[in-house]
Amino acid sequence: MNFYTLSDKGKVRPNNEDYAESLRMNWCGPLGNRFEVTALILADGMGGAAAGEFASMLAVQNVKKHVITNLFEKQPEDFLSVDKTFFLETWIKEANAAIFEKASENPEMEGMGTTIVAGLVYRNSLAMAHVGDSRAYRFQDNKLTAITKDHSLVQELIDQGKITAKEAFTHPNRNIITRALGVSEEVEVERRNITLQDGDLILICSDGLCGFVEDDDLEEVIAHSYRPEGTDLSGLADNLVKGAYLNGGGDNITICLYQHKAV
């Protein structure tokens, strides 16, 4: 299996407010045409009591429900032949509305929200959409590159040239995010399409990993485990969690991994 998901509550937090799922759908059409889609969905919740856990689970399950519905209850050719980031954006906005409504109806859930990163792999293309500071990376040609940009205060300071990425990693306001699902009626979703090459490795993670392990160190851990013909994704995920633990493990750590096989 070339995809894998792992979530760990870390060393400090009493509960896990992250939620993630990966799934693959295979089927054959009436003309013998074969379809395969892999979905990777990760959310990092926030809020008092169990509200953060609920928000992240609701976000992931909402997107997953729409993926399955569009692929199995409609003509897959219609869904797969267009820009799938538009669908992801719509589904994430629906998740935002559902979380906001739930928080409005339940005072104990007031202020809950969640980040989200969602990806759909079809053939040699990855459609992505995200909100917040959970991240996606691509490991290609022994180099790790971020393919999402955080919606956070420190990212805005980086964009303004006021601090460097290195300084952002230890900035006192590094945990302040500027977008999240559920905190208002509307949310802006960022989306993009990426062409994948054979052997590309995709890492999606919550800030319990990328907020505790710098990109250079993430690259080193991945490079040590990476095999172009097929990486042990379970072992790699364990090593990434260990890296976060070595740096304090102060937040929930959630990881989705996918290694591409070109078609």
Q: Give pLDDT, residue 147.
A: 97
Residues linked to residue 126 through DSSP beta bridges, in sequence order: 121, 194
Q: Give pLDDT, residue 69.
A: 87
Q: Give pLDDT, residue 12.
A: 93
Q: Give pLDDT, residue 255.
A: 98
Can you tell me the distance from the alpha carbon of 53 to that of 44, in angstroms, rounded to the nearest whole number? 8
Q: Give pLDDT, residue 132.
A: 98
Torsion on CA atoms 175, 180, 184, 189, rounded to nearest 10: 140
Considering only the C-alpha atoms of the chain, give the largest distance between any 2 of them, rounded to a whole number of Å.
Answer: 58
Can you tell me the distance from the alpha carbon of 101 to that of 110, in angstroms, rounded to the nearest whole number? 10
State pTM to two decimals.
Answer: 0.95
Can you tell me the distance from the alpha carbon of 246 to that of 263, in angstroms, rounded to the nearest whole number? 38
Q: Give pLDDT, residue 48.
A: 67
Q: Give pLDDT, residue 35.
A: 83
**Which one, of 155, 125, 118, 96, lies nearest residue 36 by Cα?**
125
Domain of residue 186 covers: 3-259
Q: What is the CATH number of the domain that holds 225?
A: 3.60.40.10
Amino acid at 24: R
Q: What is the mean pLDDT of each run of 10 residues along the chain (263 residues)?
A: 95 95 87 87 86 95 92 71 92 96 88 96 96 98 97 95 93 94 96 97 98 97 97 98 97 98 90
Contact 53, 45 (CB under 8 A): yes
Q: How many domains does the chain have?
A: 1
